[in-house]
Structure 1
Amino acid sequence: MKSMVTPETRQEFVRNFHLAAEQLRNGKIVFASGMKSVDSLRKVRMLPNRRIDFLSVDEMARLHVNMTANFQLEEEE
């Protein structure tokens, strides 16, 4: 079992958020009603300069987007 690859830069972290958002829009990820991940992702705010406000990212949102990015990497291999 491989360990999860975590982002090392802000750019990688933002990329993970965009990957997760794209998969949600395309219907590749569906949440059961009442899932905390959905609430956490909805609370993530964008700054006026279109960057992610990291103060609005909680642990659940961070874990979800990193997990999504890791699944994407596994599919590409």
Structure 2
Amino acid sequence: MIKPMKSPQTRAEFERRLHLLREQLRQGKMYFSSNVVRGIDGLQRVRMLPNGRIDFLSVDQSTRLQANMMVQFQEELSSPDGSADTSADED
């Protein structure tokens, strides 16, 4: 059964997802095909504010989707029966 994707409920949770996405890319655990230019361009346009927070106005739909899907897939893979442990998202 397909479960609906869990959207982040707070700014901190959304920022955490974007930082996790950046780290996955940095470590080479996630990559884009050379044909997928839009995903890479969206990630490169994400800006940081002077206070170190992410400027949400610079985050496009493709980047949001990638960050949310990455977390969803990690939760699905972490539990063999499909019931994901979400306690890590509450940091």
TM-score range, shorter chain: over 0.9
Aligned to 1:39: 41
**Higher relative contact order (Cα pairs below 8 Å, separated by 6+ residues):** 1
Count of aligned residue pairs for this structure pair: 77
Q: Where has structure 1 moved over 6 Å in runs of 4 or more?
A: none
TM-score by length of 1: 0.92
Q: Tell whether 2:58 aligns with 1:22.
A: no
Percent identity over the alignment?
A: 53
- Quick one: distance in 2 between partners of 1:3 and 1:25? 28
- Give 1:63-74 correspondences, 5 Å limit: 63-74=65-76
Aligned AA (1:16) = R
Q: 5+ unaligned residues in a row in structure 2: which ranges?
A: 80-91
Q: Tell whether 2:4 aligns with 1:3.
A: yes
TM-score by length of 2: 0.79
Aligned AA (2:64) = R
Deviation string 1:24-72 (CA, Å, 9 cap, x unpaired) is 0110101111411111011000011110000101111111111111112
Aligned to 1:76: 78
**Aligned pair partner of 1:61 in 60, 63, 84:** 63
Q: 5+ unaligned residues in a row in structure 1: which ranges?
A: none
